[in-house]
Amino acid sequence: MIAWCGSSSDGLSWLRERCSSLGNLQSDKSLSIEALDAICHQHPRRLILAVDNRLSFPVAEIHYLQRTWPEIPWALAVGSWFDGSRRTGIGAGSQLSLPWYRWWDGWKPWLSGSQSELLNPWPRMVPTSDLITAHRQHAASSNSTGIIISNCTQSGEGWKAALEGNSANSNQPATVQSLTLSQFQSQLGHATTPAPNWILWDDSSLNTFAGLECMSDVCALFSLIRKHYPNVLLIAATSMPRWSEWQEWMASGANELLVKPNHGVGLREIFSMA
């Protein structure tokens, strides 16, 4: 059983829905010592404390869990407010604190126990070389075609390297193109261009020369991609997304969200489920 205590507002509602897809989810809107005590007596395999604003940071509840239920793995699910609070030191203790949008390279590995770095007393998000190698071997064995849209050469090549890995691991390596936004737009919908299995859009296409100027342009691009490629897996890669942005992107056709900086484990998780 996975237990959820606290808010389900904004981005936390999206995270809660994804958590429920993994199995039995027990929820309580109250984030109090009494609610925690009742849930802990059911011995959940994972416990999530959802905090939607900095004034609700559960200091007393954290001390209670550490003192009374040290055997139960738990983590803080935080809203976008935590992006700024990390710089002030709030919540900078040994507990695992993950924002709502870190699903593929945070919440899912922690809930499934597949990333040991997230289970240490002082969790870290940097994977071991073994994890990177495993991801590259998986990506290389995937017979799929994909496009990376990035106006930053380093970002585009970084995503491409994480996906391709060593082609010697497979007789049918993935085919990956890294294109600038203008290059992608020029070939979009051409009959001679095979339909990709997936498209990863990197936010380096924003606020750059000949790039997208605002979020409405991103929505228009996603809608156009969905029109030309109805079945494509559309992944948005961005830095510190806001819930309102992600809602608009999903409505425009985006399927998955990756957050930068990213080390590739999220991509491994997405393609393992594809």
Highest mean pLDDT among 115-119, 234-238, 263-267: 234-238
CATH of the domain spanning 2-119: 3.40.50
Domain range summary for the chain, segments of one domain joined by +? 2-119, 129-273
Q: What's the N-to-C CA distance of the chain in angstroms?
A: 25
Q: Please state the rounded mean pLDDT for residues 196-212.
A: 77
Q: Given this model, what pLDDT does residue 171 score?
A: 41
Residue 153: pLDDT band (50, 70, 90) is: confident
Phi first, then psi, for residue 234 (nearest 5°) are -105, 115
Confidence of residue 156 (pLDDT cuts 50, 70, 90): confident
Domains 2-119 and 129-273 fall in the same CATH topology: yes
Take residue 99 and report the two structure tokens written for it.
Answer: 């924002």
Rg (CA), the chain: 20
Instruction: Tell me the pTM.
Output: 0.81
CATH class name, domain 129-273? alpha beta
Please work out, in degrees rounded to the nearest 5, the angle formed at the alpha carbon of residue 104 by the alpha carbons of 103 and 105. 100
Of residues 207 and 187, the one with the higher pLDDT is 187
- Residue 242's identity, in one-letter code, is R
Q: CA-to-CA distance for 78 and 172, rounded, in angstroms?
A: 41
Category of 72 on φ-ψ map: left (φ > 0), alpha (ψ -120 to 50) or beta: beta
Most confident of 90-104, 106-120, 228-242: 228-242
